[in-house]
Structure 1
Amino acid sequence: MKSRALRRTAVAIAATSTAVLALAGCAGSGGSDSGDSNEKITLTVTTFGAMGMDDLYKQYESDHPGITIKATNIDTGGNALTDWQTKQAAGAGLPDVQAVEEGWLSKVMQVSDSFTDLTKYGADDTKGDWVPWKVQQATDKDGRIIGYGTDIGPEGLCYNSKLFAAAGLPTDRDKVAEYFGGADATWDKFFQIGKDYHDKTGKAWYDQSGFVWNSMVNQLPEGYYKSDGTLNVKDNADLKARWALLAQGAADGLSSNQTQWDWGGGKAFTDGSFAVFVCPGWMLGNVKGGAESAGGDASTGWDFADVFPGGPANWGGSFLTVPTTSKHPKEAAELAAYLTSASSEVAEFQKAGAFPSVVKAQSDPGVTGESELTKFFNDAPIGEILAKRAEGVKAQYKGPDDAVIQEQVFGPSIQQLDSGKADGTKAWNNAMKLLDQLVINK
């Protein structure tokens, strides 16, 4: 879910009837660590954004009469990181189950011994349930698995078919994918099509440059950090090349300069402010929710294509962990396992568009079939498309200040590009100054 400061707008999407009663991946039966099976237990859970778990909490409480779940949901991944860091430093206040976003997982790994090793509660027996790289991300240097995977964020391209038609672009999603280059789609092609669109219509191509940049960085073999943990920004030729494309796109008027996570209260999704949107699975709910908040519906014209510039990319994804401060680690681990079981991840996809990291769930009819989400996107086979977009994705190493670099180092410079206050060179140099201040010399 996951990046780096993800505001997964909560959207009410009617869930297709799905069995969520099975408790998968758990060791043993419920019960308190004190040995009193009749003891009433309250388990606290902290999540962020829209993870689609509220109904599952109710189901779990119904199936486990001795357990009450007290859930806290924080609006963004960035704010959730601040909340976790504050409580981690204080050594108090952490929940029994803590959601961790991919972008700050490396910070968690620096103190992995303060999280429960889930292999003590059956994680070794079920680790084959997830896509392999998801398990690798949650495994520390000592081989301890400290998190169960929730969603992953394979990316496809959202586009407005009505705006495409008005500009003379193809509207059928298969033809759209082919037009962008299919498996050979590139960012150069993406920006060229955008420039042609802007020249014909006078309108922006995408909502703002931040999400595009995030996607461009995420699909590189190595992003802000090398796999050995060293910084990889200042002399990174790949980053500079993509920054040049982004800067030129902004100069060409391709960015609508929208406020991230707001879009004018969702109006920008309905008034033609932009025509394309980079979409990891969980972002589809934001498009739907944003459009509907501004009075839009399926007729607004949004669709989803099986294509992405530059090839496979993953943006976001989370894990459920159990801090060692939990007084009920066994029960907390069982709850985390339930919330990340195949049936639960199907329900979470239906509710919030969170694409499952559990392999079995990816092919479940509840993911591949119809839903309120597919109806909004012109009956696009969203689950099937996301499964295809997940092929070839490789987990990129995220360093301890990955989120800081994305949001606080490059964020201001991206705003300078979009507002026209700086060209690409000046904006890059400004970002490097912030890198020195916030990361290198902190």
Structure 2
Amino acid sequence: MKLSRRTRGAVALAGAASIALLATACSTGGDQGSDGEDITLTITTFGTQGLDGLYEQFEADHPGVTIEATNIDTGGNALTDWQTKQAAGAGLPDVQAVEEGWLSKVMQVSDSFTDLRDYGAEDLSDQWVDWKVKQATDADGRIIGYGTDIGPEGLCYNGALFEAAGLPSDREGVAALFGGEDASWEKFFEVGKAYHDKTGKAFYDQSGFVWNSMVNQLPEGYYTADGELNVEGNEELEARWALLAQGAADGLSSAQTQWDWGGGKAFTDGSFATFVCPGWMLGVVKGQVEAGGGDATTGWDFADVFPGGAANWGGAFLTVPTTSKHPKEAAELAEFLTSAQSQVASFQAAGAFPSNLEAQTDSGVTGESELTAFFNDAPIGEILGSRAVGVVAQYKGPDDSVIQEQVFGPSIQELDSGKADGPTAWQHALDLLDELVEQ
């Protein structure tokens, strides 16, 4: 599944504060290459992972090591880049970021990634939430990735727009409005319809991200836990699709283009009032608002509530392909970037909520930051910690991202444009499933 494009806001946040925070970060030791020569380590990441401000610190702690970083705009494009280089057997970086949505593809060729147990992974594994480690462990017990962030979801909303519509605008009131601990998608769409009836405006930006969230929080999504396709005949998916389709028919979707939003203008001109927000998306929202000429006074806030309960969208891993000429140093870089101190810095830079347990309770996560100031002083770290309770990693099959983007993507656009009703668009998705995914 896609992650965010790099935004001006996320880049701006990854500055001096993150570097200062890491001034006391522990080094994994060593300098230059394992045989004493100056070396260059390459790393490929994607989206707004909040890692950019960390590379100079690693270089300072490892004289003779230079990092060359490549960031790809979305997780989907990063998948294409990795697959192309993997198939060619050349061009892979020393450290490769892998998105949760295509981890299963990586696991099919896990022997082409370094077993990080050779560099102490087993001694480090209790640093991260246990399910993150399990995701990166293959059938032979090889640990091929260190976890970066996880993606617990809360609800971003524009308090000024809510207030103008006669709805509660304070965070506690908004959480109660959607049902609090019993928040449901039915209630979400009900409130959305009331908002639309009052204002004549859309409630959320487009149906794709809503659908993604609806699917992710199910115990099993597009695949069963044992790896079988789980779309056709899946009554839970069909029921949620019906809700989504009705919401689009009721005018609740603003039909924005994913990852575009008119250069951020849609976040500032009242085009929509809510936005589904895993932690890493908060930096995207801030960047889009600022790109659209807005700031903290535009009214965006973050509530400790999510329809349907706990949900996880996204999260990544840092892996070391076996083609790396410097696996020891690459493993050290991956370890450094996923340490508690680094994950605190990543959170402050981009809202990437840590998978590292120590980092989750660090004051750099639970306290004030540029992000909390932007979101009306919302206690973002505390909210995300609350939203992470109950999250269970959903199994992602080898074509999970294909199904999300290429199978359901066109049908979602049909819903938003009004070109097809729910049943018709669902059938179109099944037709594409037969065409694009091996059964």
TM-score (norm 2): 0.97
Computed over aligned residues only, the root mean square deviation of the Cα atoms, in angstroms, reads 1.2
Q: Give the distance between the partners of 1:20 and 1:216, measured in 2 at CA.
A: 40
2:302: which partner in 1?
Answer: 304
Please tell me the residue identity of whatever aligns with 2:374. Answer: F
1:79: which partner in 2?
Answer: 77
1:66 Cα deviation from its structure 2 partner: 1.0
Q: Is the 8 A contact 1:20 1:56 kept in 2?
A: no
Q: Is the 8 A contact 2:149 2:343 kept in 1?
A: yes
1:5 Cα deviation from its structure 2 partner: 4.8
1:62: which partner in 2?
Answer: 60
Check if 1:46 corresponds to 2:21: no
1:440 Cα deviation from its structure 2 partner: 3.0
Per-residue CA deviations over 1:160-189 (Å, capped at 9, x if unaligned) read 001000111001101111111111000000
Per-residue CA deviations over 1:28-74 (Å, capped at 9, x if unaligned) read 745534xx33x101101000111111221011111111100011111
Per-residue CA deviations over 1:237-270 (Å, capped at 9, x if unaligned) read 1100000000000000000000111111100111
| Change in CA separation of 1:306 and 1:5 when aligned onto 2, cut-off 3 Å | closer
Per-residue CA deviations over 1:262-307 (Å, capped at 9, x if unaligned) read 1111001110000000000000111110010111001000000000
Q: Is the 8 A contact 1:5 1:407 kept in 2?
A: no
Which of these residues, 13, 19, 23, is aligned with residue 22 of structure 2? 19
Q: Is the 8 A contact 1:8 1:283 kept in 2?
A: no
Higher helix share: 2
Please tell me the residue identity of whatever aligns with 1:368. Answer: T
Please tell me the residue identity of whatever aligns with 1:32. Answer: G
Which of these residues, 171, 179, 182, is aligned with residue 181 of structure 1? 179
Question: Gaps (5+ residues) in structure 2?
Answer: none
Residue 96 of structure 2: SS of its match in structure 1? Answer: strand
Q: Give the distance between the partners of 2:166 and 2:202, measured in 1 at CA.
A: 15
2:33: which partner in 1?
Answer: 32
TM-score (norm 1): 0.96
Q: Is the 8 A contact 1:207 1:255 kept in 2?
A: yes
Please tell me the residue identity of whatever aligns with 1:336. Answer: A
2:265: which partner in 1?
Answer: 267
Moved more, 54-63 or 388-397: 54-63
Q: How many residues are matched?
A: 434
1:369: which partner in 2?
Answer: 367
1:20 Cα deviation from its structure 2 partner: 4.7
Q: Give the distance between the partners of 1:58 and 1:198, measured in 2 at CA.
A: 48
Which of these residues, 318, 335, 338, is aligned with residue 336 of structure 2? 338
Which of these residues, 7, 11, 14, is aligned with residue 9 of structure 1? 7
Per-residue CA deviations over 1:112-170 (Å, capped at 9, x if unaligned) read 00000001101100100001110010000011110000000000000000100011100
1:421: which partner in 2?
Answer: 419
1:21 Cα deviation from its structure 2 partner: 4.3
Q: Is the 8 A contact 2:127 2:356 kept in 1?
A: yes
Q: Is the 8 A contact 1:206 1:256 kept in 2?
A: yes
1:293: which partner in 2?
Answer: 291
Please tell me the residue identity of whatever aligns with 1:22. Answer: A
Q: Give the distance between the partners of 1:196 and 1:440, measured in 2 at CA.
A: 42
Q: Give the distance between the partners of 1:356 and 1:433, measured in 2 at CA.
A: 38
| Change in CA separation of 1:89 and 1:20 when aligned onto 2, cut-off 3 Å | farther
